[in-house]
Chain A
Amino acid sequence: MLAEFLQYLFTGITIGATYALIALGFTLIYNASHVINFAQGEFLMIGGMATVSLTAMGVPMVLAIVLAIILAGILGIALQRFAIAPAKQADVVTLIIITIGASIFIRGIAQVVWGKEYHVMQNFSSDEPIRVFGAVLNSQSLWVLGVGAVVVVALVLFFTKTLTGKAILATSMNKEAARLVGVRTQMVLMLAFLVSALLGSVAGIVVAPITFTSYDIGIILGLKGFVAAAIGGLGSGVGAVVGGLALGIVEAMAAGYISSDYKDAVAFSMILLVLFFMPRGLFGPKVVERV
Chain B
Amino acid sequence: MLNRFMQSRLRGLVFLALILVIIPAFLSNSFQYGMVTQIAILAATVVGLNLLVGFAGQISLGHAGFFGLGAYFTGIATGTYGWPSVPALLVGAIMVGIIAWVVGRPILRLKGHYLSMATLAVGFIIAIILNNERALTGGPDGMPVPAFEVFGWELSSFARYSLFGLEIEGFEAWYIFASVILLVAVWFALNLIESPIGRALRSVHGSEVAASVVGVNTAKYKSLVFVISAIYASLMGSLYAHFLGFITPAVASFEFSILFITMVVLGGMGSTFGVILGAAVLTLLPQVLADFQELETVMFGLILMLTMIFMPKGLLPTLTAIVSKRMRKKAGGEA
Contact = CB atoms under 8 A, between A and B. Distances in A.
B92 to A, nearest CB: 22
A89 B310 CA distance: 11
A77 B111 CA distance: 29
A223 B114 contact: no
Interface stretch (B9-17, B67-75, B119-127, B196-204): B119-127
B112 A92 contact: yes
A93 B261 contact: yes
Given A87-B312, A94-B308, A97-B308, A275 B297 contact: no
Interface stretch (A16-24, A99-107, A191-199): A99-107
A93 B125 contact: no
Nearest to A269: B125
Interface in A276-291: 276, 279-281, 289, 291
Contact of A97 (B124, B262, B297, B310): B262
Contact of B301 (A30, A108, A261, A262): A108
Nearest to B124: A268
Interface string A80-97: 000100110111111011
B228 to A, nearest CB: 19
Contact of B302 (A96, A100, A105, A281): A105
A118 B209 CA distance: 50
B283 interface: no
Nearest to B294: A112
Interface in A222-242: 223, 226-227, 230, 234
A74 B210 CA distance: 44
A234 B115 CA distance: 12
Interface stretch (B102-110, B152-160, B216-224): B102-110
B308 A265 contact: no
B301 A101 contact: yes
Give the interface size bracket for B toward A.
Answer: 35 or more
A3 interface: no
A108 B289 CA distance: 13
A98 B301 CA distance: 9
A291 B312 contact: no
Contacts of A30: 113
B319 interface: no
B309 A83 contact: yes
Which one of B53, B59, B312 has the greatest number of beta carbons of chain A within 10 Å?
B312
Interface of A: 30, 36, 83, 86-87, 89-94, 96-98, 100-109, 111-112, 223, 226-227, 230, 234, 261-262, 264-265, 268-269, 271-272, 275-276, 279-281, 289, 291
20 contacts: A36-B113, A90-B309, A91-B312, A92-B113, A93-B265, A97-B265, A97-B308, A101-B304, A104-B301, A104-B304, A109-B298, A230-B114, A262-B132, A265-B129, A268-B122, A269-B125, A275-B107, A275-B114, A276-B107, A279-B114
